[in-house]
Amino acid sequence: MKLATSVMTVLGLASASPHYGAGDISHWIPPSASDYRGPCPMMNTLANHNFLPHDGRNITRDKVIDGLGKALNFNATLASLMFDMAIVVNPEPNATWFTLDQLNQHNILEHDASLSRTDAFFGNSHIFNASIFAETTSYWTNDTLTPAMLANSKLARQITSRAFNPTYTFTASTEQFSLGEVAAPIVAFGSFDNGTVSRELVEYFFRHERFPTELGWRTRDEVVQLMDVMKISSMIGSETDLLTGEESSAGKAKRADMVRRGDLHAGFKW
Ligand code: HEM
Ligand SMILES: *[C@@H]1O[C@H](CO)[C@@H](O)[C@H](O)[C@H]1NC(C)=O
Ligand SMILES: *[C@@H]1O[C@H](CO)[C@@H](O)[C@H](O)[C@H]1NC(C)=O
Ligand SMILES: *[C@@H]1O[C@H](CO)[C@@H](O)[C@H](O)[C@H]1NC(C)=O
Ligand SMILES: *[C@@H]1O[C@H](CO)[C@@H](O)[C@H](O)[C@H]1NC(C)=O
Ligand SMILES: *[C@@H]1O[C@H](CO)[C@@H](O)[C@H](O)[C@H]1NC(C)=O
Ligand SMILES: *[C@@H]1O[C@H](CO)[C@@H](O)[C@H](O)[C@H]1NC(C)=O
């Protein structure tokens, strides 16, 4: 083994072996059969780019802070908070790590009516599902996605699930996580000012679990703060209201402005 390792190093092959710490938005290695992956397209993407352990195991607080920081410019406190939300998936008391496979447990964090996965009742709820994603993208009606389009796809997925999945479950807590997830494409790839994101970047990311670097995306320059995530989640939440009222456009525009100015926040639980 030692000899083989030295030979590989001499041949420069070691650089092709996936390892945590080599995170690079331009360097993507697909998961091997033994690598763990889960229902989160971003955690999978981070592992595929070595911003998290490529094998999907031993994901510690420090690695989440480091990976989300380097790849997405997430504030360390925000990333740490997200680790706290996630650690419940490891059943061991006082666990210090989780695996991407543990995220697959149904109704802990993984839930029904996802944008790109089918419900656990119907099949594998953690791998990308092309027909489910086709349903979602049918509501993405322009090249630039708005909070309303993302909210429409979320609502549609919930209605489909409630209609056809007899075990459909979606609690108030699920709703808060769901709003964060539906906002996530804007957080990762879009604009905080206008709450929009390129459909092309988002579709590429979901389909390939790869950063859309070849489409021109780069890690944003500003640090992503908890308030940014709350603001975008709140924009999505506002758009899940199907009423218009008399003053349709005026009312909606006013509410959207309040959210943009930071005067209004929907509950948010990351
Ligand atoms: C500690 C960090 C994170 C953990 C543990 C985590 C975990 C999860 C889990 C368990 C799901 C599945 C929910 C479902 O059943 O649909 C999910 C979905 C999702 N996550 Fe993450 N996530 C993390 C960070 C992020 C970040 C930073 C982003 C992007 C900015 C992101 C983007 C998404 C998206 C877009 C979905 C929705 C997938 C879908 O509906 O098909 N996640 N995440
Ligand atoms: C998990 O990662 C930590 C921090 O990098 C390391 O100290 C520890 O040895 C790892 N554990 C396993 C089982 O790989
Ligand atoms: C990260 O967020 C914390 C808490 O909100 C804040 O105190 C800190 O200044 C932020 N750090 C950076 C680098 O933005
Ligand atoms: C977990 O942490 C708590 C609080 O620090 C401690 O009382 C408890 O003994 C720990 N449990 C285990 C199994 O280490
Ligand atoms: C994708 O989702 C559909 C609808 O729930 C399901 O019938 C199909 O089996 C799923 N495909 C895979 C590969 O799991
Ligand atoms: C569609 O998006 C483009 C920007 O990509 C924008 O200029 C246009 O106004 C949008 N059209 C509609 C109907 O929202
Ligand atoms: C949203 O803002 C981004 C950058 O801040 C800009 O490139 C894009 O054209 C804007 N889109 C719309 C629809 O205003």
What confidence tens digit (pLDDT) does each residue in 57-116 have?
Answer: 999 999 999 999 999 999 999 999 999 999 999 999 999 999 999 999 999 999 999 999
b or e along 102-137 (b: 16 or more beta carbons within 10 Å of the residue's beta carbon)?
bbbbbeebbbbbbbbbbbbeeeebbebbeebbeebb
Domain boundaries, the chain: 17-242
Mean pLDDT over 38-48 rounds to 98
Element (H, E) at 145: strand 144-145
Mention every residue, 6+ apart, whose C-beta is less than 8 A from residue 130.
none
| Distance in Å, CA 184 to ligand 6 centroid | 21
Q: What angle do CA 242, 243, 246 make, to 5 degrees?
A: 150
Q: Which ligand is nearest to the CA of 222?
A: 3
How far, in Å, from the CA of 94 to the mean position of ligand 1? 23
Give the closest residue (by CA) to ligand 4 atom 5. 94
Atom of ligand 3 nearest to the CA of 75: 1
User: Residue with the nearest Cα to atom 4 of ligand 2?
Assistant: 60
What's the pLDDT score for residue 179?
Answer: 98
Rg of the chain's alpha carbons, rounded to an integer? Answer: 19
Per-residue pLDDT tens over the stretch 130-168: 999 999 999 999 999 999 999 999 999 999 999 999 999
The answer to whether domain 17-242 has CATH 3.20.20.140 is: no
The alpha carbon of 192 and the centre of ligand 6 are apart by a number of angstroms equal to 17
Q: How far is the CA of 61 from the centre of ligand 3 (A)?
A: 17
- pLDDT confidence of residue 245: 81
CA of residue 73 to ligand 3 center, whole Å:
12
At residue 246, the pLDDT reads 78
Measured CA distances, 187 to 3, 8, 27, 105, 243 (Å): 46, 39, 21, 25, 26
* Closest atom of ligand 4 to CA, residue 92: 13
> What is the model's pLDDT at position 65?
98
Q: Is 118's C-beta closer than 6 angstroms to any atom of ligand 5? A: yes
In this structure, of 21-25, 39-43, 139-143, 184-188, the range with the lowest mean pLDDT score is 21-25
pLDDT in tens, 230-265: 999 999 999 999 998 876 666 666 667 676 666 665
Ligand nearest to the CA of 133: 1
CA 20 / ligand 2 centre spacing (Å) = 11
Q: Look up the pTM and report it.
A: 0.90
- With vertex at residue 259, the alpha carbon angle to CA 253 and CA 260, rounded to the nearest 5 degrees, is 85
- pLDDT(11) > 60: no
Residue identifier of the C-alpha nearest atom 2 of ligand 3:
77
